Amino acid sequence: MKVKPTKSELKLSLLGYGLARKLAAIFGVMISVFVIAVIFFNVQTQVELVRERLDLRSQQLLRLGLEVSMPYLIEGRPGELEAIFEEISNQPDVERFYLLDEYGTLLVDGSDVEIGGFLAEIDDPLARQAFDQKEQIRIVADNIESIAHPIVLGHNTYGTMRLDVRLDTLRNEIRTVWVRNAILGGVFIFLGMTISIILARRLTEPLIHLTQVTERAAAGDLNQTIDVQTNDEIESLAHSFETMLVTMRGSIQQIHRLAYIDKLTEIPNRAWFSDQLERVTVAAAMRGERFAIMFLDVDNFKTINDRHGHHVGDALLVALSKRLTHCVTDLGLEAATIDQPRGLTQTSALIARLGGDEFTLILPERYAERVAIGIVNSMKVPVDTKQVSITVTTSIGVGVFPVHARSANDLLKVADAAMYQAKQAGQNCYQYYDEKLHEELLSVSQIQNELRTAIEEEQFVLYLQPQFDVKTGDVSGAEALVRWNHPEKGLLTPDVFLPVAASSGLLPFIGREITRLAISIAKDIQAIAHKDFVLAINLSVEELLEPDFVSDLVDLIHQTGVDPSGLEIEITENTAMFDNDAAVFNIDLLRSIGVRLAIDDFGVGFSNLARLKNLAFDTLKIDKSLLPGMNGRSDAKKLFNTILELSRVVDANVVAEGIETQEQLAFLRTTHCQNFQGYLGGRPVTAGDFIVWLNRQSNCSFTNVV
Ligand code: C2E
Ligand code: CA
Ligand code: CA
């Protein structure tokens, strides 16, 4: 993983290390001062030596002049000294060399340029002074050192020797000394600086390494090795720090697990998924890649939970999460875990549990369809829990980035919407998101919202549809049917809103309202109808399972004083097949107080006749699709009669539903079917209209209500 450059790394790349620079500067200054001092001292010494050497030479020249001159002077033959003085004067650094007697008369002159002829009087104050003081006098002027030396023998002073030496040589040599030392000094300072920098870096490198590790750790990267071997306090500091990192890593992993792992299934949870979806979306947008998101929901999970209990539901979710992982790994994809470096690759997939029975997957788009098919197929194998072996199905919605949505939030909505579509398409399948479906779903969620208001504002009304005796045409009962008096859309039939109410858990609220209205009208009906009149109320599985729903209904029946034997609850064939203790208990509770039981829509479900028989129902309502002529079956009449035979065996009353024509009624009259319900007899009408109509039925025979 590429870590962002830390502050110290930035400083390094631009200016060098802070501490190293300071140390290098300190070492550098110290070395420079030392070198300069040494060089200065060295120059002084060398210059001194040069001076001494040149002085010695002047003195030697003088001594030489003196020694050779003395005998000649004593003997009064100074003229013979000419050659020696010339020799000395010809030395490169000698400007002039001559000899004066005690009167200042020039006796010998070695110079080419004469200052006066032989025995000329020379005004030489320096020579005079030396003569007078009997000691050597020296002065320096105009780059020339003039030395006047008296010629003394015993108490006699014979004259003065004068030597002028050019100081060029001295100056040149001093300059050379300076230059040589300056170069040497420069080299030493350069070397000193270089060594300082190297030394400073050496000293600070472990500290810098530690600093970088600290900064990276502070930036969230705790997976670091600290390589410091200095055999000193820094090394032990590094060890302590490494131990701290290991401890922190452990704690953070622990925190990470608690925050991002679903406790039940031990796969990543919603928080991790949301975080990853954001990242994957941003990364895919930057790289121009596609990916798919899957929303998976177990079909009828609530029912399984209700029927078998929560431990079975939990075991099922654990098994499902494992299957999902296998479906992904079977295709060569890697299932990402929360411990892995963040971000998904083109060969990995993220599986998470969003909560409840909802799972999500993020994976490369090209794998999406194969994974979806794999999941649907994998569900064919029953899940063995300790208690039971269950076959479950799932509905899967697939959304693709960036085709269906571009933001993490929208992608999730899209996949959720596609999943809903898969449910609508009959469950146990996968669906890719499409725009049209989205609009439909919007209207679903709108209905949900409106339903909540409708429940609060009691917008539901009760309609009643009469049932008749086939033979006599007398009114035998009525079915209570709900209608929604929508403030804008008008009167809505249940097919528009009951499925939405059921899927959003609102059905029991509507049921409470309708049963309340039905029981209150039952009281009025029982006051005017004959004693065998039966008022049927539809109950769904959601209502049967809703805590207190049935017990409250029983209480209501008792409170209102309605005769329970004049009431019948209708449960669909499929609800009747639903093997749930709570539902059975509630049905038995109603039956125990004398309420009748009808099996509704018989013929469209998947009945287990043995189980139906156990339910001891009173009425069988044959679905209109089973009426001869309605389903194109040549053996329809035979089938219809078989059902009638069956009901005779179990001693059940039969109501044929959806009778619209006289022909259908005529057919019924040729059978043993006792009752019918349908538009031919009367359409559903408001409870008020029904009472008025019922009152008018003096002989209670059927005439069309509408
Ligand atoms: P269902 O229990 O089978 O109710 C009979 C349905 O058939 C009613 O539709 C009724 O209007 C319709 N119907 C009656 N005679 C005829 C006919 O001759 N031809 C045709 N084509 N249809 C006829 P509705 O009122 O739209 O109700 C639909 C379903 O909604 C009901 O089917 C029932 O399953 C459910 N339902 C209605 N009211 C309630 C309620 O209060 N609670 C519950 N849980 N479900 C209800
Ligand atoms: Ca019904
Ligand atoms: Ca029915």
User: What's residue 13's pLDDT?
Assistant: 41
The residues lining ligand 1, judged by C-beta closer than 6 Å to any ligand atom, are 465, 480-482, 493-495, 498, 511, 514, 538-540, 570, 600-601, 658-660, 677-679, 684
DSSP 96-134: EEEEEETTSBEEEE--SS-SS-TT-B---HHHHHHHHHT
d(CA 600, ligand 3 centre) in Å: 5
d(CA 623, ligand 3 centre) in Å: 6
Q: What angle do CA 113, 119, 122 make, to 5 degrees?
A: 65
d(CA 559, ligand 1 centre) in Å: 28
pLDDT along the chain (706 residues), means of 10: 45 54 82 87 88 87 85 81 86 87 86 73 89 91 90 84 87 87 89 83 80 81 80 83 84 83 94 93 93 95 87 94 96 86 78 95 95 95 88 95 93 91 89 82 85 97 97 96 95 93 93 97 95 96 94 97 97 84 93 96 74 84 88 80 88 95 95 96 96 78 46
What atom of ligand 1 comes closest to residue 543's alpha carbon? 44
Q: Give the DSSP letter of residue 141.
A: E
DSSP 246-306: HHHHHHHHHHHHHHHB-TTT-SB-HHHHHHHHHHHHHHHHHHT--EEEEEEEETTHHHHHH
**Atom 43, ligand 1: which residue's CA is nearest?**
538
User: What's residue 20's pLDDT?
Assistant: 73
**Ion ligand 2 — residues with CB < 5 Å:** 538, 570, 600
d(CA 486, ligand 3 centre) in Å: 24
**Atom 34, ligand 1: which residue's CA is nearest?**
538
**Atom 21, ligand 1: which residue's CA is nearest?**
658
User: What's residue 688's pLDDT?
Assistant: 96
User: What's residue 595's pLDDT?
Assistant: 98
Cis peptide before 684 (omega within 30 of 0): no
**Atom 23, ligand 1: which residue's CA is nearest?**
658
What atom of ligand 1 comes closest to residue 623's alpha carbon? 3
Nearest ligand by distance to the CA of 569: 2
User: What's residue 424's pLDDT?
Assistant: 80
Contact 407, 372 (CB under 8 A): no
**Atom 33, ligand 1: which residue's CA is nearest?**
538
Q: Which residue has tokens 């170069």?
A: 183
Nearest ligand by distance to the CA of 621: 3
d(CA 665, ligand 2 centre) in Å: 19
Q: How far apart are CA 87 and CA 62, in angstroms?
A: 13
**Atom 35, ligand 1: which residue's CA is nearest?**
494
Here the tokens at position 161 are 């020797």
Q: How far apart are CA 181 and CA 702, in angstroms?
A: 136
**Atom 37, ligand 1: which residue's CA is nearest?**
481
DSSP 67-85: HHHHHHHHHT-GGGGHHHH
d(CA 535, ligand 3 centre) in Å: 14
Contact 520, 474 (CB under 8 A): no
d(CA 493, ligand 2 centre) in Å: 13
Contact 681, 467 (CB under 8 A): yes
Nearest ligand by distance to the CA of 678: 1
First to last CA, the chain: 77
**Atom 30, ligand 1: which residue's CA is nearest?**
494
